[in-house]
Amino acid sequence: MAILITGGAGFVGLNLVEQCLLQKQHVVLFGPVPPTARDYLNQFKGAESHLRLVEGDVRKADELDSAIVRYQIRQIVHGAAITADIEREKTSARAIVDVNVGGTVEVLEAALRHRVERVIQLGTGSIFGSAGNVQGPLDEVDSAVLPQSLYGISKYAAERIAVRYRQARGLPVSVLRLGMVFGRWEYDSGLRDTLSLPWQVARSARAGEHVVLHTDAGNDWVYANDVAQGIRAALAADALPEPVYHLSAGQEWSVRDWCALLKQRYPQFSYGFSQNLGDCTIGRNKASKRAIFSIERLVRDTGYRPQFLLNDAFTDYMEWSDAAHTR
Q: What is the pLDDT, as a whole number, of residue 79?
A: 96
Q: What is the pLDDT, as a whole number, of residue 208?
A: 96
Q: What is the pLDDT, as a whole number, of residue 120?
A: 98
Those residues of the chain that have pLDDT short of 70 are 45-46, 48, 190-191, 193, 285-288, 325-327
Q: Is residue 207 part of a domain?
A: no
Q: Is residue 160 part of a domain?
A: yes
CA angle 72, 116, 98 (to 5 degrees): 100
Q: Is residue 211 part of a domain?
A: no
> What CATH number is given to the structural domain containing 28?
3.40.50.720
Q: Is residue 157 part of a domain?
A: yes
Q: What is the pLDDT, as a whole number, of residue 288?
A: 66
Q: Is residue 266 part of a domain?
A: no
Q: What is the pLDDT of residues 220-230, one digit of tens each?
A: 899 999 999 99
> Would you say 182 and 198 are in contact if contact means Cβ atoms under 8 Å apart?
yes
Q: State which residues form the domain around 238.
A: 2-184+221-251+291-307
Q: What is the pLDDT, as a whole number, of residue 96?
A: 95
Q: Is residue 171 part of a domain?
A: yes
Q: In sequence order, which residues have a C-beta less than 8 Å from that of residue 128 and are 6 or more positions away?
A: 138, 143, 144, 145, 146, 147, 152, 290
Q: What is the pLDDT, as a whole number, of residue 219?
A: 77
In angstroms, what CA-CA distances link 81 with 7, 171, 189, 191, 222?
7, 21, 11, 7, 19
pTM for this model (two decimals): 0.94
Identity of the amino acid at 19: Q
Q: Is residue 233 part of a domain?
A: yes
**How many domains are there within the chain?**
1
Q: Is residue 53 part of a domain?
A: yes
Give SS3 for 22. Answer: helix
Q: What is the pLDDT, as a whole number, of residue 8?
A: 87
Which of 36, 110, 41, 49 lies closest to 75 in space, CA to CA? 110
Q: What is the pLDDT of residues 128-182, one digit of tens each?
A: 988 888 888 999 999 999 999 999 999 999 999 999 999 999 999 999 999 999 9
